[in-house]
Amino acid sequence: METSNYFEFFSPVKINSGDQALSTLNYELEQLHVSRPLILTNQTLDELNILDLLLSSITKIEINPRQIIKTIPNQATLEIVKKASQRYRELGCDGIIALGGEAIIDTAKGVNLIISEKVDDLTKLTGIETAHGDMQPFIVIPTTSGTGSEAALSAVISDQKSKNSLEFISSKLMPDLAVIDPKMTFTLPPRLTASTGVDALVHAVEAYTGLQTNPLSDAYAIAALKLIGKNLEPLVNDVNNKNYRVAMNNAALMAGIAFSNSHAGIIHAVGDACEKISEVSHGDALAVLLPHGMFYNLKFEYCRNSYQDILLALEDTEKFVNTKAEDRALMAVDSVVGILSELRFLAGIPVRLEEIGVKRSDFDRIVDKAMHNSALLNSAGQVKREDIESILEAAF
């Protein structure tokens, strides 16, 4: 199986990463001509003093308490996007800062769409590349090390009335700046550190094996895999280690960049379906499904070749050299299983779908949902219902 020699790669986000990265905010706000930002976060990050860390780094402009919205829920919704947009207009804000994880970042992207496109109904902008106006200055400060949303050109926002998830995909959704500071993720406990780390691992694996992979996304994906292989388990075992934190923050970012450009595959399609149908954690679903999705892909030569590179990235050179060429793809899956098993021991991440609340009675609806996921178009082979059923059975 061959991929086209034509590709597109887009990653315009400026990245300030590492210890004391927050100290650059005064300069960056000035460069973006932002003097009255709307800050989106949640109550938990306020209680953990993460918000205080952000505010103490912004010293050259005055922040009115009404410029801070601390009530962003765990899922981005049309309702919260509308309320935040109203606050933005009311206060005459001139930029957006998202402090948090995927839900907060997606909410900020929704606000940016409404303000920049001068609309009140966000549903009019669903789909691909519907934005045409000049976007508001947008800064993301992630507090997790997994989703890579700070480098993604998509947002998912829930319509609670219709119970539908609305997807927005546009290069204009990408932030102007991502500030990756390890102190913002020190509060993540081992269990959440492990779960978000696995999310980054899945992003890197699928980015490297999808049909839309390209030389640039490959470089980011392999670099992310190397960092994950060396740093994820040590970080879960020592969550306050600054070096491990920086490494995993960077891994999540690079996996997100790769993933945004070469897209998802069957693992994400099934994982997203489990999340929506069985209402389980996204990270938990991916952690359970990852080895089974990789094992399914072993039947494709295209994936077997890619998995050899993944083995080399995750393990030392000696193990790669000492493994027969025909066994390296399977050994890559075994390496991933080894990482997941260690994370199970260290932090209790799940290994079975039944364990996280997926029921066999959900399978038909999960398969239906997964079959309509565009990620399957990026998977090797023509995915059939029985393929997804086999992955679910193996993971149950």
Domains 14-184 and 190-395 in one fold: no
Q: What is the mean pLDDT of residues 24-39?
A: 97
Average pLDDT over residues 312-338: 95
Q: How far is CA 309 from the centre of its chain?
A: 22
User: CATH assignment of 190-395, given 3.40.50.11540, 1.20.1090.10, 2.40.100.10, 3.30.420.40?
Assistant: 1.20.1090.10
DSSP one-letter code for 42: B
pLDDT of residue 381: 84
pLDDT of 141 above 90? yes
Q: How far apart are CA 349 and CA 284, in angstroms?
A: 7
pLDDT at position 304 is 94
Q: Name the band, by pLDDT with cuts 50, 70 and 90, for residue 163.
A: confident
pLDDT > 90? residue 266: yes
164: pLDDT strictly greater than 90 = no
pLDDT in tens, 73-109: 988 999 999 999 999 999 999 999 999 988 999 999 9
Domain 14-184 CATH (choose: 3.30.420.40, 3.90.1150.10, 3.90.79.10, 3.40.50.1970): 3.40.50.1970
Q: Count CB neighbours of 351 within 10 A.
A: 17
Contacts of 272 (CB under 8 A, 6+ apart): 282, 285, 369, 370, 373, 375
Q: Is the pLDDT of residue 333 over 70?
A: yes
Is residue 154 pLDDT above 90, yes or no? no
pLDDT tens digit sequence for 35-51: 999 999 999 999 999 99
DSSP H or E segment with residue 383: none
Closest CA to 150 of 160, 142, 162: 142
Q: How confident is the model at residue 4 (pLDDT cuts 50, 70, 90)?
A: low
pLDDT of res. 186: 84
**Would you say residue 27 has pLDDT above 70?**
yes
Mean pLDDT of 109-137: 92
In the structure, what pLDDT confidence band is assigned to residue 288 with cuts at 50, 70 and 90? very high
**Has residue 305 got a pLDDT over 90?**
yes
Structure tokens at 357: 């609340």
Distance CA 120, CA 83 (A): 11
User: Alpha carbon 261 to chain centroid distance?
Assistant: 13
Residue 1 pLDDT > 50: no
- What are the boundaries of each domain within the chain? 14-184, 190-395
